[in-house]
Structure 1
Amino acid sequence: MSGVSDNIRGALLMMGAMCAYTVNDAFMKALLDDVPFFQAVLIRGIGAVICLTLMCRVMGQLRFDLSLRDWVLIILRTLGEMGGTFFFLTALLHMPIANVSAILQVLPLSVSLAAAVFLGAPLGWRRMTAIGIGFAGVLLIIQPGGQDFSIFSLYALGAVACVTLRDVIVRRMSANVPAVFIALVAAVGVTLLGAVGSLFNDFAPMRTGAALQLAGATAFLVVGYVLSVMTMRVGEIAFVAPFRYASLIVALSLGIVVFGEWPDAAMLAGASIVVATGLFTLYREAQLRIRVRPVPDRIR
């Protein structure tokens, strides 16, 4: 990308990472109709662990000489990742992919709120108002009390809570904890979740189509990790971060083309509100220079 500015390069990498993660989600949604939940999580996790271990070795980030405090925080973050994976994939199996993706877009708002409550981070009236409006947008998406509401909407909110915990904990870690190593430990935790869950379910033989879907999910998850790490190294976070919302456009497109899931007006309105308030929150945080520790986005 000769001649392209670092900001544009970072934006393209961010969009690539988010698109790769969302295609992984689509593969997992299709796969979980035929393959037991924990079996799929286990096999995909093994691929992610191998990839992240290699990345750590190449980047010199495979470190175990961390303080007890950092290890406790890494383990807590991993528990958040494990909970987020369980709730997210369960919701994804039973809900339109665009709806689940739209609910997850509230994360910049929930992380800002949690950082203010638990870490004492500054939170002015502008961002507080944006957070309130953003959560109102989430209510439009899940439509509590409506005929399309299901318990799995609460699973999506459970994923938001777990991932919020995960991302807030990262802000408490020492700066010398390698980012990819954090993701590796989380991948190990999620893989163990799949292994333990598989003990209570029969291992199902996979048809060729299911095996290819699982391979696709693993490949796109790995691509997402690689692009996420590259994103951290170029561009200004204030410019690059808003491009994370590309995942919602991809989710809407895949939902329609692959799964025949047409979003209704309430979902589109709610998603628009969530994205708008999230963009405003990211803008305000950039202005106030609130510290956000970059870590590969997710294991889910």
Structure 2
Amino acid sequence: MRTSSTTLGILYLIAGIAIFSVQDLILKLLSGSYPLHQAMVLRSLTAIPCLLVITKLMDGTLRGLVSPTWPLMLVRGVLNFLAYTAYYLALAALPMATTVALYFTAPLMITLLSALVLKERVSPRRWLALAAGFAGVVIMVQPGGDLFDWAALLPIFCGAAYAGSMVAARIMGVRDSAAALAFWGNIAFLLCAAALALVYGTGAHEGAGHASLAFLTRGWVWPTTQDALLMCACGGIAAIGLTLLTQAYRIAANSVVAPFEFTFAFWGILWGWLFWGDLPNALGWLGITIIIGAGLYVVRADEPNEKAAPKGAA
């Protein structure tokens, strides 16, 4: 793997995580009043023209969208939809810090799948950095008693599905561009969200006491202008974020970029401070320091010794 590809992959991932955190914030704010499928339908519809523009800018043409592998890209999109749906349902019931901490099983699973499926060599240094980053997140968010809520299983499932999706991006990226993968992934989001809306949109199944189930089964609600704009804004956010994340795992070794998923914790701190007045305590800042150190360690440890890309990799 060329150093430039590795560096770009890391930068794409960090940028994608930062952009996606805004969508997480919006859906957390809306989760008490609207159903998830309503927000996802509006988000996916708005994302379509954004993704067409991104595809044109990145690929120079839209022809790449008409690919014989589009069914496989749809399947990958369904996997991604399951991952994000599980995460957002957990977000409705659990504190953001707890949800984020549990989601961070994803980098571990990505690294494991990269070794098993992609046959990437994962050095002891990378495993050490990954373990240190995960420890830093646990120290920082200090998850408490809410871990015993059954909804805590949702972000763990999210991590597994997300890992599978990003490893698939590495495999499929040999033939298809990041823009094409993101476009068909969004179409899968739209179809799945529309299916949920057909089942739950009327409100016939509404009334669940648990916050996660309520977020899933609540009937459609006519949104205020501000809330409608926020849902639609998620379309642009998702279009850019999905493309960046897909490109990161498409061009760089998954086991190298996966530890930088931990940077999502920083955005949880920022949004918590801006919207709820929360700031980390001494242990929280210690966790941040460990995460930064782990990320820098990966970069410094791998740059001089990067091997050639796996056969067939982009």
TM-score range, shorter chain: 0.7 to 0.9
3-state secondary structure, aligned to 2:172: coil
Residues 175-254 of structure 1 correspond to what in structure 2 (within 5 A)? 175-201=174-200, 202=202, 203-224=220-241, 247-254=264-271
Q: Identify unmatched segments of 5+ residues in structure 1.
A: 1-6, 295-300
Normalised by the size of structure 2, how large is the TM-score?
A: 0.71
How far 1:66 sits from its partner (Å)?
Answer: 4.0
Deviation readout 1:127-155 (Å, 9 max, x if unpaired): 334444555556667878x5232333321
The equivalent residue for 1:95 is: 94
Contact 2:74-2:187 within 8 A present in 1 as well: no
Q: 1:224 to 1:130 in 2, by over 3 A?
A: closer
The equivalent residue for 2:43 is: 44
Distance in 2 of aligned mates of 1:72 and 1:17 = 25
Contact 1:85-1:190 within 8 A present in 2 as well: no
Q: What do you get for the CA RMSD once the two structures are aligned?
A: 4.3
Aligned AA (1:288): E
The equivalent residue for 2:306 is: 288
Deviation readout 1:71-91 (Å, 9 max, x if unpaired): 564244223211111111112
The equivalent residue for 1:161 is: 160
Normalised by the size of structure 1, how large is the TM-score?
A: 0.74
How far 1:57 sits from its partner (Å)?
Answer: 4.1
The equivalent residue for 2:61 is: 60
Aligned AA (2:83): G
The equivalent residue for 1:23 is: 22
How far 1:122 sits from its partner (Å)?
Answer: 1.4
Range moving further from structure 2, 174-183 or 244-253 = 244-253
Aligned AA (1:215): C
Contact 2:98-2:146 within 8 A present in 1 as well: no
The equivalent residue for 1:148 is: 146
Distance in 1 of aligned mates of 2:221 and 2:93 = 20
Aligned AA (1:56): T
Q: 1:85 to 1:229 in 2, by over 3 A?
A: closer
Distance in 2 of aligned mates of 1:187 and 1:62 = 17
Aligned AA (2:272): G
Q: State, as a whole percentage, how many aligned pairs show the same letter.
A: 23
Contact 2:65-2:180 within 8 A present in 1 as well: no
Distance in 2 of aligned mates of 1:283 and 1:107 = 23
Contact 2:133-2:259 within 8 A present in 1 as well: no
Q: 1:279 to 1:291 in 2, by over 3 A?
A: farther
Contact 1:32-1:40 within 8 A present in 2 as well: no
Distance in 2 of aligned mates of 1:132 and 1:240 = 14
The number of residues matched between the two structures is 286
Q: 1:73 to 1:229 in 2, by over 3 A?
A: closer
Residues 242-281 of structure 1 correspond to what in structure 2 (within 5 A)? 247-260=264-277, 273=290, 276-277=293-294, 279-281=296-298
Q: 1:205 to 1:107 in 2, by over 3 A?
A: same
Aligned AA (1:82): F
Q: 1:273 to 1:104 in 2, by over 3 A?
A: farther
Deviation readout 1:65-118 (Å, 9 max, x if unpaired): 645xx4564244223211111111112222333443455455444322211122
